[in-house]
Structure 1
């Protein structure tokens, strides 16, 4: 059963992403590292023992990858449009120990499992051929950390914890059916909304804040 692994703020630039976190949560979050296979870079915030938030953007110092980047980051115009419309918390990722089986049961939806890395970490991540999010972000991206497990426990603890996570969508019943179909556990609460939108409530040392 796939379970919530991390949330992703997909930013036009890393500086803008970090400024959004600072404004929304009152926190300066540390660097994670670079993803050499994708030409991207991130900063990370621990939200629990096996849960974290990442801010991810194109790494301007890295050469372009041989294939489309994840999280739709090659479409700079779409990333900017989402950003300006307030859809900044743009994706969520679920981990599973049965990645190959889950992909086989839902062919064409999540993509192909690829080997990814950041520093000494390595994992498998399902990526669509065009790099876009599954159903535009309605479904989570899928991954498998392997024996090492989610690395949140090794991240600095800034006192942030996820207290609520919701997904808004014009067809909430369809969204719920899709989440059930993949067996998603501990996923977002689903509510009706004008458009697809992710919202997280995060407890911080300065109080509970909203991130979207």
Structure 2
């Protein structure tokens, strides 16, 4: 059984070739992701697709017009891969404090921002997730009063989200510390999600 976690904000599908992955996504789903914007100083740009409600999919890849080392280890990828995901708790600072008291450190909260192609500034705060290198434990994000990236996006509803990891017992305490439910089973390290698209159900990992 697949459980879609409560307060899901977005999934991160990273790729070494953004244009090619956008074309492949459009071919497989029948939906063209919308340009998101540029992460100045991080060397990346993204395209977005709504997942229903306030959640969305971020397809992120290198921005050839920037330098620097992209986040999530994107510069080491040889093919697209779902590397991480985020939840938006009601109070990010309290959630960090509570998780630390339970034995898991989500990392420090830091500010970030980017501009949409129309010039709208999006600003948010997030945790760096330094205590988890698997990507299976979500990082936390807080959009505050900023417009949310899901506004006005083409939508492919999320049907399922699950993960596999060689030792599920190693990851479950961190998920519990964040009050997050995620279907995790034994297998190669992987995050998989399935979308309801005009071309039928399509799974990515």
Per the normalisation by structure 2, the TM-score is: 0.81
Q: Which residue of 2 aligns with 1:142?
A: 140
Q: Which residue of 2 aligns with 1:199?
A: 192
Report if aligned partners of 1:96, 1:143 keep a CA contact under 8 Å in 2.
yes
- SS of aligned partner of 1:174: helix
Question: 2:163 aligned to 163, 167, 170, which one?
Answer: 167
Provide the rounded CA distance (Å) in 2 between the counterparts of 1:71 and 1:3. Answer: 22
- SS of aligned partner of 1:16: helix
**Larger mean Cα displacement after TM superposition, 46-55 or 112-121:** 112-121
More helix by share: 1
Q: Gaps spanning 5+ residues in structure 2: where?
A: 116-120
Question: 1:151 aligned to 149, 152, 157, which one?
Answer: 149
Deviations 1:149-183 (A, max 9, x none): 6431x22334x100111011122233233211221
Cα gap change, 1:191 to 1:90, in 2 (>3 Å): same
**Larger mean Cα displacement after TM superposition, 35-44 or 143-152:** 143-152
Cα gap change, 1:202 to 1:4, in 2 (>3 Å): same
1:110 positional shift: 3.2
Give the total of aligned pairs.
193
Report if aligned partners of 1:37, 1:117 keep a CA contact under 8 Å in 2.
no
Provide the rounded CA distance (Å) in 1 between the counterparts of 2:89 and 2:163. Answer: 20
Provide the rounded CA distance (Å) in 2 between the counterparts of 1:13 and 1:109. Answer: 32
Question: 1:180 aligned to 165, 176, 181, which one?
Answer: 176
Q: Which residue of 1 aligns with 2:183?
A: 189
Deviations 1:13-52 (A, max 9, x none): 2123313423543432111111224231000001112111
RMSD: 2.6
